[in-house]
């Protein structure tokens, strides 16, 4: 290695490369930086952490198997631990859109750890007393490191994601209880429907979020099967026969995660189905959250010319030209964030099907999008929960007012007068702009209704009784028929 001013000269199999002297990465990382000036994006912390912990585990396992010198192993372990703590994050700089399979990112980690370990052994970056390939990458290939790192990185943030999901579901359940005495107009096809309690509406939102969380947990189980030790194509070439099992055990110990050995290392190399399954579960939650955000925006519309049944917290002025305007900005943010998550899932889907023969070379973009999905989902859910859902209030007067004008409450009269007579009432009430109760009582006084079953006249009192307890209309069953007990 030669040094000149702000650069040191390193060599790789293609020749000499100028590397900044103040950087811990080496020749292959520098080539990647020059080859892929694509997005300006850097690796997600989860990707740095997950590859570094593989290097840490490998140093321990290779040392225990007698393959790696103890002093070199100790230096790699210490350097890896520093990387895990985030001490050298600025040295991980390879764009997500890079060489296929993730060789550039793997070598970025190998070189940073090797140069830092070299420093710990008294050398200088570029001297490689600890070699990035021979020592840090011992018993490994990019082809088994990167798919393992994707799995570990997702599992690393899983608990944080589940906590965010649980907090949102709990906040929605709290609102369900708070709003349960408000009977309002249900709506299907965006048209008036039978009554529903606002609490019931919110209970549906809460349960949908919880079920999507359960789907994510089920999908995450597939990520726990690790193919580390398959090396280049799944045969385990250049890895000790005990390496695969020992690595999984060591990674489980280091991460405190439940991890399992893969029962087919070739499948672990070829297939990204487990990552795709996890991505799809995140997408499902994104679709659910988009729907809920849309409902909140609709229910809060107005306030003077919309539904205005709920009020979302006012967190910032809504217009640069219209004074006093306040917009549903947290719900809008959630929409945009979830649209992005859905787009990331599409990228993961296309990348997963692009695998060929023994390897999927699209792993870098799969990793980037999965980690981005998790980050965006965690941040968006936390903001939506804390700054929107917790502060939602109900506009009881408006909700009850809309219900009073809802002609579809005529459904409560079906057991008395039948569907056809009810439809005629709706038409007349709408045309005359009066309530169903007003027109139905008028018809009853005129003796125009008969009981469906008995043929006896339906009285005004029966009409009033059927329409008086609107909460009863939200509790199911057939009106007018007593339950057994």
Same domain, 201 and 219: yes
Q: Are residues 373 and 304 in the same domain?
A: yes
Residues 334 and 420 reside in one and the same domain: no
| Identified catalytic residue from 39, 242, 319, 468 | 319
Tell whether 386 and 469 lie within a shared domain. Answer: no
401 within a domain of the structure (yes/no): no
Q: Which of the residues in the chain have pLDDT under 50?
A: 482-485
* 13 in the same domain as 134: yes
Question: For residue 32, how far is the Cα from the chain centroid?
Answer: 30
Looking at the fold, whether 127 and 150 belong to one and the same domain comes out as no
* pLDDT given at position 241: 98
415 within some domain: yes
Boundary residue ending a domain (378, 396, 414): 396
Residues 304 and 416 occupy one common structural domain:
no
Statement to judge: residues 392 and 269 lie in one domain: yes
CATH of the domain at 88: 1.10.275.10
CATH code where residue 437 lies = 1.10.40.30
For residue 483, being part of any structural domain is answered with no
pLDDT at 221: 99
- Does residue 182 share a domain with residue 62? no
Q: Which of 228, 190, 215 is nearest to 278 (CA)?
A: 215
Supply the pLDDT for residue 485.
36
Q: Is 93 part of a structural domain of the chain?
A: yes
pLDDT at 1: 65
**How many domains are there within the chain?**
3
Question: Which of 109, 164, 119, 195 lies closest to 466 in space, CA to CA?
Answer: 195
Buried/exposed code over 144-157 (b: 16+ C-beta within 10 A; e: otherwise): bbbbbbbbbbbbbb
Q: Which structural domain, as residue segments, surrounds residue 123?
A: 2-138
Domain boundary among the residues 369, 396, 423 is at 396
User: Are both 390 and 469 inside the same structural domain?
Assistant: no
- In this structure, how many other beta carbons lie within 10 angstroms of the beta carbon of residue 134? 12
Q: What is the pLDDT of residue 477?
A: 81
Residue 112 lies in a domain: yes
Phi, psi of 4 (to 5 degrees): -150, 105
Domain closes at, from 344, 368, 396 = 396
Alpha-carbon gap, residue 166 to 157, rounded angstroms: 14
Q: Is residue 264 part of a domain?
A: yes
Q: How many CB atoms lie within 10 A of CB 222?
A: 14
Q: Kindly report the CATH number assigned to the domain that includes residue 298.
A: 1.20.200.10
Same domain, residue pair 61 and 184: no
Residues 81 and 178 in one domain: no
Active site residue 319: yes
The set of residues, in sequence order, having a beta carbon less than 8 Å from that of 114 and lying 6+ positions away, is 26, 76, 79, 128, 130, 131, 132, 135, 136
Instruction: Report pLDDT for 412.
Output: 87
pLDDT of residue 482: 44
Nearest to 69 by CA among 162, 134, 165, 149: 134
Q: Could you tell me if 88 and 43 are in contact, meaning their C-beta atoms sit under 8 angstroms apart?
A: no
pLDDT at site 466: 86
Is residue 283 one of the residues assigned to a domain? yes
CA distance 152 to 259: 9
What are 183-224's pLDDT values in tens digits? 999 999 999 999 999 999 999 999 999 999 999 999 999 999
pLDDT at 32: 98
269 occurs within a structural domain: yes
């Amino acid at each position: 290695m030669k040094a000149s001013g702000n650069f040191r000269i390193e060599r790789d199999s293609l020749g000499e490369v100028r590397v900044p002297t103040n950087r811990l990465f080496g020749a292959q990382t520098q080539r990647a930086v020059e080859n892929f000036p694509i997005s300006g994006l850097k690796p997600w912390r989860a990707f740095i952490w997950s590859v570094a912990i593989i290097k840490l585990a490998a140093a321990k396992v290779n040392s225990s198997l007698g393959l790696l010198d103890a002093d070199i192993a100790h230096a790699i372990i210490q350097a890896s631990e520093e990387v895990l703590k985030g001490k050298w994050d600025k040295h991980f700089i390879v764009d997500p859109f890079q060489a296929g399979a993730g060789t550039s990112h793997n070598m970025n980690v190998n070189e940073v750890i090797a140069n830092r370990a070299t420093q710990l052994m008294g050398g200088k970056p570029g001297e490689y007393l600890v070699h990035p390939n021979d020592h840090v990458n011992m018993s490994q290939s990019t082809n088994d490191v990167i798919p393992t790192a994707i799995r570990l990185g997702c599992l690393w943030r899983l608990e944080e994601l589940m906590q965010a999901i649980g907090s949102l579901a709990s906040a929605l359940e709290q609102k369900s209880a708070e709003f349960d005495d408000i009977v309002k107009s249900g709506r299907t096809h965006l048209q008036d429907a039978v009554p529903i309690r606002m609490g019931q509406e919110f209970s549906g939102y809460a349960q949908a979020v919880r079920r999507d969380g359960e789907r994510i947990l089920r999908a995450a189980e597939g990520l726990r099967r690790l193919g580390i030790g398959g090396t280049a194509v799944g045969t385990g070439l250049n890895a000790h026969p005990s390496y695969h099992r020992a690595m999984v055990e060591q990674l489980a110990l280091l991460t405190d995660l439940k991890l399992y050995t893969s029962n087919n290392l070739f499948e672990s190399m070829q297939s990204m189905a487990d990552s795709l399954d996890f991505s799809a579960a995140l997408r499902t939650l994104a679709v659910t959250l988009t729907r809920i955000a849309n409902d909140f925006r609709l229910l809060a519309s107005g306030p003077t010319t919309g539904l205005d049944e709920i009020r979302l917290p006012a967190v910032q002025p809504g217009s640069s030209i219209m004074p006093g305007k306040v917009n549903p900005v947290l719900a809008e943010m959630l929409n945009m964030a979830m649209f992005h998550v859905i787009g990331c899932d599409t990228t993961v889907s296309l990348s997963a099907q692009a695998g060929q023969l023994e390897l999927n070379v699209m792993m870098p973009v799969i990793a980037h999008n999965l980690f981005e999905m998790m980050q965006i989902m965690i941040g968006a859910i936390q903001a939506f929960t804390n700054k929107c859902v917790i502060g939602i209030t109900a506009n009881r007067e408006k909700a009850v007012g809309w219900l009073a004008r809802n002609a579809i409450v005529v459904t409560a009269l079906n057991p008395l007068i039948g569907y056809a007579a009810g439809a005629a009432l709706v038409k007349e009430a709408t045309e005359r702009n009066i309530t169903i109760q007003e027109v139905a009582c008028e018809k009853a006084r005129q003796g125009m209704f008969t009981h469906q079953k008995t043929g006896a006249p339906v009285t005004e009192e029966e009409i009033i009784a059927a329409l008086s307890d609107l909460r009863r209309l939200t509790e199911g069953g057939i009106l007018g028929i007593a339950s057994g007990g």
